Amino acid sequence: MKEIISIKDVSKKFGDKTALKDISFDVNMGEIIGIVGHNGAGKTTLINCMVDIYQPDKGNIDFIFDKKSLYDHIGVQMQNSYFEPRSKVIDICKLYKKLTNSDANILELLEEFELKDEAKNNISNLSGGKKQRLAILLTLIHQPEVVFLDELTSGLDPVARRRVWEVLKLVNKKKATTIILTSHFLDEIEYLADRILILNKGEMAYMGTVGDSIERYSDGEKVIEFQIKDERASFKLAKYNAVELPGNRYQIKTKDDERVLKGLIDDAGIRNLIVKSPTLEDVFLKIAGYRLDSEGRIVNE
């Protein structure tokens, strides 16, 4: 796969505060990269360095195209977009088209983003989800090869978020647009990103696929939750290190789920069984030095 961006040993400090330290990775053409990390981990600083708003103190960020014309090739959608609320959707689209000298087909784009019925509506009348879809559409009008999206679905309800995901998938598939996004929603990253970068206190804690991250950090452990048919047999669960949960439920963490399940069926008889694989959230918490206890509380590892 051809690289479109190469980031080498990038570091950035604000005063004596290190925001980024020795960040290196490549982005392939047409890839979706998800950047995650706790508040203050350095996500926005990294995007700002990539889009030339900040200069790194050290290291290089190179694009396949000439950096002098960077903004002809990239689109940037930062955390909060502001639009003149009295403008009509169609007018702002036309304005962007003119400003960027683009030959994009506005009506087609509005259709794809399910905004055609809103074309003559004032922006102030749009829901949060539609506003966000419009913001992404505007980012794409000059047909950039790479788009940067910082926390694009914050404040949206689950349906609106999924609509945004769908338009991003569509753009990525149809135009092979490379997408770099940050998010605090790990389900969003899991759904969209080909690879994830996990930042922890400005450092690269992980770069790779979601699947590999789970395999690497979970060590193959599964979580089994169940009830037992006869509560009088609960003493037999001690040998499995079962933890009691509210609602007469039990939880066992094991790397050998098949053996444990077979044993449980023989020993106690189980019902309402759930077997959970670790998620990106477990990886994220582990990297940050935390885990969830059996009651879902966050505890230090």
Kindly state the smallest distance separating residue 59's Cβ from ligand ATP, in Å. 16
Does position 155 interact with ligand ATP (CB under 6 A)? The reply is: no
Q: Which amino acid is at 185?
A: F
Beta carbon nearer to ligand ATP, 76 or 115: 76
Beta carbon nearer to ligand ATP, 45 or 178: 45
CA-CA distances (angstroms) from residue 68 to 64, 74, 137, 190, 289? 12, 12, 24, 34, 41
Does position 43 interact with ligand ATP (CB under 6 A)? The reply is: yes
Kindly state the smallest distance separating residue 158's Cβ from ligand ATP, in Å. 20
Number of Cβ atoms within 10 Å of the Cβ of 293: 10
Does position 44 interact with ligand ATP (CB under 6 A)? The reply is: yes
| Cα–Cα distance measured from residue 162 to residue 192, given in angstroms and rounded to the nearest whole number | 10
Distance from the first to the final alpha carbon of the chain: 38
Does position 39 interact with ligand ATP (CB under 6 A)? The reply is: yes
Does position 45 interact with ligand ATP (CB under 6 A)? The reply is: yes
Does position 17 interact with ligand ATP (CB under 6 A)? The reply is: yes
> What is the enclosing helix (H) or strand (E) of 46?
helix 43-50
Kindly state the smallest distance separating residue 204's Cβ from ligand ATP, in Å. 13
Number of Cβ atoms within 10 Å of the Cβ of 186: 19
Does position 34 interact with ligand ATP (CB under 6 A)? The reply is: no
For 114, counting Cβ atoms within 10 Å of its Cβ (0-12 exposed, 13-18 middle, 19+ buried), the class is middle
Site string for ligand ATP, 260-289 (x = CB under 6 A): ------------------------------
Contacting residue, 4, 7, 19, 164, with ligand ATP by CB under 6 A: 19
- Write the DSSP assignment of 103-169 as a string of letters: ---HHHHHHHTT-GGGTTSBGGGS-HHHHHHHHHHHHHTT--SEEEEESTTTT--HHHHHHHHHHHH
Does position 40 interact with ligand ATP (CB under 6 A)? The reply is: yes
| Cα–Cα distance measured from residue 116 to residue 98, given in angstroms and rounded to the nearest whole number | 19
Q: How many residues bind ligand ATP (CB under 6 A)?
A: 11
Give the chain's length. 301
Tell me the window of 24-32, 42-50, 136-144, 233-241 that interacts with ligand ATP (CB under 6 A): 42-50
Tell me the window of 40-48, 92-100, 132-140, 211-219 that interacts with ligand ATP (CB under 6 A): 40-48
Tell me the window of 3-11, 13-21, 120-128, 230-238 that interacts with ligand ATP (CB under 6 A): 13-21
Q: Provide the β-strand partners of residue 11.
A: 58
Does position 41 interact with ligand ATP (CB under 6 A)? The reply is: yes
Strands 178-182 and 32-37: parallel
Tell me the window of 38-46, 128-136, 213-221, 246-254 that interacts with ligand ATP (CB under 6 A): 38-46
Does position 129 interact with ligand ATP (CB under 6 A)? The reply is: no
Three-class SS of residue 6?
strand
The residues of the shown chain that bind ligand ATP, judged by CB under 6 A, are 14, 17, 19, 37, 39-45
